[in-house]
Amino acid sequence: MSESDSPVVLIVEDEPDVAETYKLWLQSDYTVRLGKSGDEGLELLDDQVDVVLLDRMMPGLSGDEVLTEIRERELGCRVAMVTAVEPDFDILEMGFDAYLSKPIRSEQLHDTVANLLERSEYDSMLQEYYALVEKKATLEATKSSAELADNEKYGSLTEQIDEMRDGLDDTLGGIEDDDDFIATLRGLDNDDEE
């Protein structure tokens, strides 16, 4: 682990009240760093950071640009976009691990951070698969069936998930669907704890 043996969560949020609220919600379980802009967030980012909660729309360096820089640095942290921006098909090109639409609740934020920390322990293929499933679920929650059916990138995403699922079948013993995949992973985690 990192600073004082608790996971480090970096919040990059330009609205002070929102940033402080997230910090209050998380500080009893995690070491929390606050970046008030994209530039400040990148200054606070190092190999100690386990999870980044990243606002997408900020003045100056946007969340999208910060995310690109995070991935270029190859630090291995998990990133959740926490934003009021309605997700669109452009998210398929982004390297985030979770997408939360504001406003969010304390429990939702805690669950997301815990889930991302859990995912950090999976190998890279599982992490990639989980990120793709997250993007698919985000789009399915906000787009109509017709919009999804008409979008080539969404179709490619679905094919990519199916291909990866086939590859993971051998490793995890048969995955029927994405819900089954998540349940299988949680089962593996529980087995490790016993």
**Cα–Cα distance for residue pair 145/151, rounded to 1 Å:** 10
Three-state DSSP state, 86: coil
pLDDT of residue 3: 44
Last residue of a domain, one of 90, 121, 152: 121
Instruction: Please state, in angstroms and as integers, the Cα–Cα distance from residue 79 to each residue in 53, 143, 162, 174, following that order.
Output: 6, 23, 24, 28
Q: What is the pLDDT of residues 8-58, one digit of tens each?
A: 999 999 999 999 999 999 999 999 999 999 999 999 999 999 999 999 888
- CATH number assigned to the domain comprising residue 17: 3.40.50.2300
Q: What is the pLDDT of residues 143-156, one digit of tens each?
A: 999 999 999 999 99
Please provide the average confidence, as pLDDT, over all residues in the chain: 82
pLDDT of residue 189: 44
Q: What is the pLDDT of residues 119-138, one digit of tens each?
A: 776 667 777 888 888 889 88
Instruction: Note whether 117 and 142 are same-domain residues.
Output: no
**Least confident segment among 53-57, 92-96, 177-181:** 177-181
Instruction: Note whether 17 and 59 are same-domain residues.
Output: yes
pLDDT of residue 182: 56
Sign of CA dihedral 47, 53, 57, 59: negative
* Rounded (5°) CA angle 110-113-116: 145
Q: Which residues pair with 32 in a beta bridge?
A: 9
pLDDT band at 181 (very low <50, low <70, confident <90, very high): low
pLDDT of residue 170: 55
Which range has highest mean pLDDT (11-15, 75-79, 158-162)? 11-15
Last residue of a domain, one of 102, 121, 140: 121
Q: What is the count of structural domains for the chain?
A: 2
Three-state DSSP state, 29: coil
Instruction: Note whether 18 and 85 are same-domain residues.
Output: yes
Last residue of a domain, one of 81, 100, 121: 121
Q: What is the pTM of this model?
A: 0.65
Helix, strand, coil percentages, rounded to 5, for the chain: 60, 15, 30
